[in-house]
Protein backbone atom coordinates (compact mmCIF):
# COMPACT_ATOMS: atom_id res chain seq x y z
CA UNK A 1 0.00 0.00 0.00
CA UNK A 2 2.85 2.36 0.87
CA UNK A 3 4.46 1.78 -2.54
CA UNK A 4 1.16 2.54 -4.27
CA UNK A 5 0.85 5.87 -2.44
CA UNK A 6 4.44 6.82 -3.33
CA UNK A 7 3.90 5.83 -6.97
CA UNK A 8 0.64 7.80 -7.17
CA UNK A 9 2.33 10.86 -5.67
CA UNK A 10 5.20 10.65 -8.20
CA UNK A 11 2.77 10.39 -11.11
CA UNK A 12 0.78 13.40 -9.90
CA UNK A 13 3.94 15.49 -9.51
CA UNK A 14 5.07 14.53 -13.01
CA UNK A 15 1.67 15.40 -14.48
CA UNK A 16 1.63 18.79 -12.76
CA UNK A 17 5.07 19.64 -14.14
CA UNK A 18 4.17 18.38 -17.62
CA UNK A 19 1.26 20.77 -17.99
CA UNK A 20 2.96 23.91 -16.64
CA UNK A 21 3.45 26.50 -19.36
CA UNK A 22 5.54 29.65 -19.72
CA UNK A 23 3.05 32.34 -20.75
CA UNK A 24 4.33 35.78 -21.78
CA UNK A 25 2.42 39.06 -21.56
CA UNK A 26 2.19 40.62 -25.04
CA UNK A 27 0.32 43.87 -24.50
CA UNK A 28 2.15 47.13 -25.14
CA UNK A 29 -0.74 49.34 -24.05
CA UNK A 30 -1.53 50.57 -20.57
CA UNK A 31 -4.70 49.47 -18.74
CA UNK A 32 -4.96 45.92 -20.08
CA UNK A 33 -6.77 43.00 -18.43
CA UNK A 34 -5.05 39.90 -17.03
CA UNK A 35 -7.85 37.45 -17.86
CA UNK A 36 -8.00 37.96 -21.65
CA UNK A 37 -6.23 35.12 -23.47
CA UNK A 38 -5.28 37.40 -26.38
CA UNK A 39 -3.03 39.40 -24.04
CA UNK A 40 -0.72 36.39 -23.62
CA UNK A 41 1.53 34.17 -25.77
CA UNK A 42 0.49 31.43 -26.16
CA UNK A 43 -3.08 32.67 -26.20
CA UNK A 44 -4.18 31.45 -22.77
CA UNK A 45 -4.57 33.02 -19.35
CA UNK A 46 -2.00 31.79 -16.78
CA UNK A 47 -3.36 29.26 -14.30
CA UNK A 48 -2.06 27.30 -11.32
CA UNK A 49 1.37 25.89 -12.13
CA UNK A 50 2.03 28.21 -15.08
CA UNK A 51 4.82 30.79 -15.23
CA UNK A 52 3.47 34.26 -16.07
CA UNK A 53 6.20 36.40 -17.64
CA UNK A 54 5.77 40.17 -17.71
CA UNK A 55 8.78 41.17 -19.78
CA UNK A 56 10.46 44.48 -20.40
CA UNK A 57 10.52 44.30 -24.19
CA UNK A 58 8.29 47.34 -24.50
CA UNK A 59 10.64 50.11 -23.43
CA UNK A 60 10.73 52.20 -20.31
CA UNK A 61 7.18 52.71 -19.08
CA UNK A 62 4.69 51.86 -16.36
CA UNK A 63 1.91 49.46 -17.32
CA UNK A 64 -1.30 48.80 -15.38
CA UNK A 65 -2.82 45.31 -15.39
CA UNK A 66 -6.31 44.68 -14.08
CA UNK A 67 -7.23 41.42 -12.39
CA UNK A 68 -10.64 39.82 -12.85
CA UNK A 69 -13.20 40.06 -10.06
CA UNK A 70 -12.44 36.49 -8.96
CA UNK A 71 -8.68 37.15 -8.87
CA UNK A 72 -5.78 35.59 -10.74
CA UNK A 73 -3.54 32.57 -10.19
CA UNK A 74 -0.16 31.41 -11.46
CA UNK A 75 2.63 29.19 -10.19
CA UNK A 76 5.43 31.65 -10.91
CA UNK A 77 5.47 35.35 -11.74
CA UNK A 78 8.51 36.73 -13.57
CA UNK A 79 8.79 40.54 -13.51
CA UNK A 80 11.38 42.72 -15.28
CA UNK A 81 14.02 44.78 -13.54
CA UNK A 82 12.20 47.84 -12.18
CA UNK A 83 14.76 50.17 -13.77
CA UNK A 84 13.53 49.24 -17.25
CA UNK A 85 9.75 49.26 -16.78
CA UNK A 86 7.15 48.76 -14.08
CA UNK A 87 3.87 46.89 -13.81
CA UNK A 88 1.10 47.99 -11.46
CA UNK A 89 -1.27 45.13 -10.76
CA UNK A 90 -4.74 46.26 -9.78
CA UNK A 91 -3.80 49.54 -8.11
CA UNK A 92 -7.42 50.74 -7.76
CA UNK A 93 -8.97 47.43 -6.73
CA UNK A 94 -6.69 46.01 -4.02
CA UNK A 95 -9.38 43.63 -2.73
CA UNK A 96 -8.96 41.28 -5.71
CA UNK A 97 -6.77 38.28 -4.98
CA UNK A 98 -3.57 37.23 -6.67
CA UNK A 99 -2.72 33.62 -5.78
CA UNK A 100 0.48 31.68 -6.32
CA UNK A 101 -0.23 27.97 -6.82
CA UNK A 102 2.56 25.79 -8.13
CA UNK A 103 1.17 22.42 -7.10
CA UNK A 104 3.59 20.57 -4.83
CA UNK A 105 6.56 22.75 -5.84
CA UNK A 106 7.33 26.11 -4.28
CA UNK A 107 5.87 29.11 -6.07
CA UNK A 108 8.35 31.78 -7.20
CA UNK A 109 8.36 35.52 -7.71
CA UNK A 110 11.25 36.70 -9.89
CA UNK A 111 12.15 40.33 -10.46
CA UNK A 112 15.19 41.49 -12.36
CA UNK A 113 16.69 38.01 -12.06
CA UNK A 114 16.35 37.84 -8.26
CA UNK A 115 14.14 34.95 -7.11
CA UNK A 116 11.91 34.90 -4.04
CA UNK A 117 10.69 31.37 -3.34
CA UNK A 118 7.26 31.28 -1.72
CA UNK A 119 6.17 28.37 0.41
Query: How confident is the model at residue 89, as a pLDDT?
Result: 74
Domain boundaries, the chain: 20-118
pLDDT single digits (tens) 3-52: 544 544 444 444 444 568 999 988 877 788 889 999 999 999 999 999 99
Query: How confident is the model at residue 78, as a pLDDT?
Result: 87
pLDDT single digits (tens) 40-87: 999 999 999 999 998 766 666 777 888 887 888 899 988 876 666 677
What beta strand segments (E) does 2-75 contain?
22-25, 32-33, 40-41, 51-53, 62-66, 72-74
Q: Which of 53, 117, 116, 113 is nearest to 81 (CA)?
A: 113
pTM of the predicted model over 0.75: no
Q: Using the Cα atoms of residue 43, residue 113, residue 118 and residue 106 in order, give the sign of their dihedral.
A: positive
Amino acid sequence: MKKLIILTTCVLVACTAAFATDITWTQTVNNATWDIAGNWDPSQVPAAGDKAILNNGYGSATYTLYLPFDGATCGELDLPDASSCAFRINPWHPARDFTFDNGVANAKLTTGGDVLTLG
